[in-house]
Amino acid sequence: MRSKLGLRIVRGIRRRNFIKNMLPKSDFYSRYKDFDDLPLGNKKLLMDNFQKINILGIPAEEAFQVGVEAESGRRKDSLIDNITVGLSSGTSGNRGIFLVSESERAAWVASVLIRVIGFSFKQRKVAFFLRANSELYESVRSKLLAFQYFNIFEPLKRHWEELLRLKPNIIVAQPSVIMELIKESGLENIPWRIEKIISVAEVLTRKDEHIISNWARIEVDQVYQCTEGFLAHTCWKGNIHWNSDFILIEKEWLNENQYIPRITDLKRTTQPIVRYAMNDVITRGECSCALKSEVIGSIDGRMDDVFKWKIDEKTITIFPDFLRRTIAFSNPTITDYQIVKKNQEIYLWIRGLKESYEDAESSLMNLFLNKGIITELHKAKQPLVASNGKKKRVINLD
pLDDT at 218: 92
Q: What DSSP character marks residue 126?
A: E
Which pLDDT score, from 0 to 100, does residue 3 have? 63
Tens-digit pLDDT profile for residues 1-17: 456 666 677 677 778 88
**Residue 260: pLDDT over 50:** yes
Banded model confidence at residue 91, pLDDT cuts 50, 70, 90: very low
Return the top range by mean pLDDT from 103-107, 110-114, 231-235, 364-368.
Answer: 364-368
CA–chain centroid gap for 224, Å, is 7
pLDDT at 343: 83
CATH of 104-226, one of 3.20.20.70, 1.10.150.130, 2.40.50.140, 3.40.50.980: 3.40.50.980
Instruction: State the fold for domain 307-396.
Output: Alpha-Beta Plaits (3.30.70)
pTM passes above 0.75: no
Please report the beta strands in 159-257, taking only residues with DSSP state E, as ranges in sequence order.
170-173, 196-199, 220-226, 229-234, 240-242, 247-253
The pLDDT assigned to 45 comes to 92
Q: What gap in Å lies between CA 30 and CA 208, rounded to an integer?
A: 45
Residue closest to 247 by CA, chosen among 272, 233, 267: 267
pLDDT for the residue 388:
37
Mean pLDDT of the residues in the chain: 82
Residue 397 confidence (pLDDT) above 90: no
pLDDT class for 387, splitting at 50, 70, 90?
A: very low
Neighbours of 294 (CB within 10 A): 22
pLDDT at 175: 83
Query: Range(s) for CATH 3.30.70 in the chain?
Result: 307-396
> Beta-carbon neighbour count of residue 221 at 10 Å?
23
Average pLDDT rounded to a whole number, residues 340-350:
91
In this prediction, residues 375-393 reach a mean pLDDT of 73
Helix (H) or strand (E) holding 228: none
Q: What is the pLDDT of residues 140-174, one digit of tens each?
A: 555 667 778 888 777 888 899 999 999 999 998 88
- pLDDT of 328-341, one tens digit each? 888 888 878 899 99
Share of the chain above pLDDT 90, in %: 26
What are the C-alpha distances in Å from 53 to residues 26, 34, 62, 160, 197? 5, 17, 15, 42, 36
Give start-end residues of each CATH 3.40.50.980 domain in the chain: 104-226
Contact call for residues 240 and 252 (beta carbons, < 8 A)? no
Other CB atoms within 10 Å distance of the CB of residue 155:
10
Q: Number of helices and strands (H, E) in the chain?
A: 11, 21
How sure is the predictor about 262, in pLDDT bands with cuts at 50, 70 and 90?
very high
Predicted local confidence at residue 171, as pLDDT: 92
The whole-number pLDDT of residue 390 equals 44
Percent of the chain at pLDDT > 70 equals 86
Q: Give the per-residue pLDDT at 384.
A: 82
pLDDT of 21 reads 86
Helix (H) or strand (E) holding 347: strand 345-351
- 222-246: b (≥16 Cβ within 10 Å) or e: bbbbbbbbbbbbbbeeebbbbbbbb
| Chain segment 311-332, per-residue pLDDT in tens | 887 888 787 767 877 888 888 8
Structure confidence at residue 101 as a pLDDT band (50, 70, 90):
confident
CA distance 167 to 374: 37
Q: What is the pLDDT of residues 280-307, one digit of tens each?
A: 778 889 998 888 789 998 876 554 467 8
Q: Which amino acid is at 95?
A: R
Query: Using the 8-state DSSP alphabet, how is residue 70 labeled?
Result: H
